[in-house]
Structure 1
């Protein structure tokens, strides 16, 4: 390694991985998976260099969210478990509890409601013990989301953004057209469509309209 690179590494901000992770989560919230993925990779690299449990935890938590958004629930579960473990080693109970809620959301999407319920209960206990009573609202929200997954099969539950993409696809818009309309990259639209087709059990766009009608049909 060159001296300049070693000096740069030694000056690495100790919270840099967490900063990158926060940026990744913000991109996920806006449906920008492409940028989120790049930030997650950078967060992992920085966390590896820093070798601090709190930073490893932040990077793992962001990776869990990213993998979940891409539909890779098995890998997302592993990343969430790593985040919980690292936050435990770092002595950060509130963040550990927040990672539990992330894991619970993934469990719910996998259909493992018993494990998800247990994680939410454990998170509530952590929040209460730490005096973070305002975060109990987050646990309540997670519980409501879990109830929604129980009432609607995880295989057919579309996120708000996925629903938008699906409805535009039904109108005959191309990936490029959808990307421009929703201010996304074509790659992100492609990722969304891939998840939509998997969740709806389809192999092409042709059946999306029929499936959406089924989801909207009253019981």
Structure 2
């Protein structure tokens, strides 16, 4: 058969084969991605590309691993799947790929609330203090901080401050 149901079955098998037969896992994950793409399920296809990339890496096929991981990271970044994007980027880095900034960015523009959170991050506030100041839950602040990191293409609170300084230019 074909379609999403088959894609899930093929991907499940690839997950199961990852440790014992990474080459078979890679082939299966690529096939699952093809099935998901055929049904328009891009996020599921990206999950399959992530598995294919790690499986290719597991059997020493670095070029194929880089290709599949780049495809996965691109889709995760475009969909706002920040956790999965971060995982794909980590896997790319294990292969020596400098990745992360461009893949995670949308258009670089922050929402009003994200800009408020970014400014408080720049000032050195902890997530807890930001939550108290803006009357938000700490979890909501974590989400906003993750979005700020992704949109600005940074991976640390200090880098947020640097990026905001670049955008604003020299202060008068």
TM-score (norm. length: structure 1): 0.40
Relative to total residues, which structure has the larger helix share, 1 or 2? 1
TM norm structure 2? 0.50
